[in-house]
Structure 1
């Protein structure tokens, strides 16, 4: 049976649609790969692309997209709310079907080696592929962003796994690794007070005493004159969306503001939404087997 890997590269371009289309075209034209989704965020100045396929084809598409991004994106002039260190900021590989996490780790190393050697971009392995414990967390690697990488890579703890020992002058540094599926989940608040968003992000963030499987930051959405609690839910089965949403709503009320909406960036497992519906609707004796599409299409 075919092995299926998901790849969700993040590119530091969220305002120039033509540039993003040229990057995504490198994925579209790769035989054996299916483009599932891509989206741009102007405030974050960042795009997220999702595609799947057999491992070798996925690696080829990811490499070509990274190469095109390095040609088109110059971080020396890049500004946006979201932290970034590379034109292609991060490339995660996620095992979907008939492939193990360890196999994805090996494929991530293969991809990282090509990027480092052929594109002259330093690559740091992260998550399950990390070569040392302090590199597992992407936020730790990316701290200091592009501008700080020129000094950071001089530290032994952050010496690149592949490629040169200093950032590419315009494309920066790229993180590559294998990980489990995560959900990029954002909650918007009807205030422009960034301190409120940051305090709420701190309340739900695992590292600051919140939910273990939640990573969170507070951002301004200047075009909408509101703020956002932006999260990566790294294990929705242990920290469900509805639980974090309720805490954010309660915390917002403490500060006299309201939740005005939420969003999923990229794709989301159906079970995460079914669990949320089950919780808020207080469904009795409900299970995933009662979802119509599940009965039609099976697994």
Structure 2
């Protein structure tokens, strides 16, 4: 997220000439971790000081505001929970005192920001919880309750503004209900979701890959080698992405951050295309078989099958080309990533090369059945260009 935030910030300046400040975990200095420090003085403050005060210099862009868009911030942070507690009193001063006792800036709980307001005739302690895993929502509620009791009032109700992670509510339920040996997998919806993702505790990673492997083993024409080649290339891209992501942002590889970010972005695109090709290959071959069965006259049969064969050829050719690109990226990032992950890149490269070889074999066998020699010659030329890397 930090690398992504910095990349986005850089692109905002390059594309739109809007100066960018980085905050929270993406911040380039401790002073800018807190968004309030950057926003000090609001827009007028930035406009007045951006060119003259070195501490207001943007992280990306020139020291001047955009004439219509001003300046902006990009950050990387944990999920923020907007949490408000209503007190059974209209006395807003009490809410302000409670908020002061609870918020971190006044000596209260870490990762809590708070203020007191009058909302719908009730005093409200309005809070932002910036790291609910370090300071859980139930601890915040209990402290607000304790501080409010000092003034003879109590929480009346609370509200979530926006979204809240399931984990935060699970933690609160475990706390207040005092559940022994609680585990999130005990929740029905969580277990069902895990099953749907193919990641049950019993099945592990095997549960995710087993259906596809069993389909390959079934006595049916599809899915076959073309789909397996696409899956192999997708796994190669996935492994390469993992290695790049675990080096990007690390101090030892900070000088290669741009290269690794670009590699990851392209690998993500390739991975998605290759995953789509798993089904596309099976569907294209099924179309060939369907054309053979449905065609009645010779002319119609030739034309229909030719079109289907061309599509069935283009899919694995695309897989081979993408697999080659994946292999090239792997070779590029090998010297700028953690050497302890060499085996992962070796595996990824082997998968990419196997994908190329398998996909090209599917291309060739389809070309043997084609009558369009011009198409076949052009396709073989494209395939031949891939073979030196295979």
TM-score normalised by the chain length of structure 2:
0.45
Aligned twin of 1:257: 153
Check 1:220–1:176 CA distance in 2 against 1; reply closer, same or farther (3 A cut): farther
Find the aligned partners of 1:169 and 1:227 in 2 and give their Cα distance.
Answer: 41
Find the aligned partners of 1:192 and 1:151 in 2 and give their Cα distance.
Answer: 40
Is 1:155 matched up with 2:53?
yes
Is 1:136 matched up with 2:47?
no
Q: CA deviation at 1:266?
A: 2.4
Aligned twin of 1:199: 97
Is 1:109 matched up with 2:6?
yes
Q: CA deviation at 1:271?
A: 1.5
Is 1:188 matched up with 2:91?
no
1:1-299 correspondence to structure 2 within 5 Å: 104-153=1-50, 154-168=52-66, 171-221=69-119, 224-298=120-194
Q: Which has the higher contact order (CA 8 A, sep 6+)?
A: 1
Unmatched 5+ stretches in structure 1: 1-103
TM-score normalised by the chain length of structure 1:
0.58
1:53-76 alpha-carbon deviations (Å, 9 max, x no partner):
xxxxxxxxxxxxxxxxxxxxxxxx
Check 1:161–1:188 CA distance in 2 against 1; reply closer, same or farther (3 A cut): same
1:147-190 alpha-carbon deviations (Å, 9 max, x no partner):
43333434211211124534446644321011222322222234
Check 1:202–1:273 CA distance in 2 against 1; reply closer, same or farther (3 A cut): same
Aligned twin of 1:18: none
Find the aligned partners of 1:215 and 1:112 in 2 and give their Cα distance.
Answer: 26
Check 1:252–1:160 CA distance in 2 against 1; reply closer, same or farther (3 A cut): same
Rg: which structure is higher? 2
1:205-245 alpha-carbon deviations (Å, 9 max, x no partner):
12321111222233343xx2334322222222221111110
Find the aligned partners of 1:107 and 1:239 in 2 and give their Cα distance.
Answer: 26
Of Structure 1 and Structure 2, the greater strand share is in 1
1:93-145 alpha-carbon deviations (Å, 9 max, x no partner):
xxxxxxxxxxx222212221233344443321011211111001112222322
Find the aligned partners of 1:219 and 1:121 in 2 and give their Cα distance.
Answer: 34
2:46/2:56 contact within 8 Å kept? no
Check 1:144–1:188 CA distance in 2 against 1; reply closer, same or farther (3 A cut): farther
Partner-residue secondary structure (3-state), 1:143: coil
Partner-residue secondary structure (3-state), 1:231: strand
Of Structure 1 and Structure 2, the greater helix share is in 2
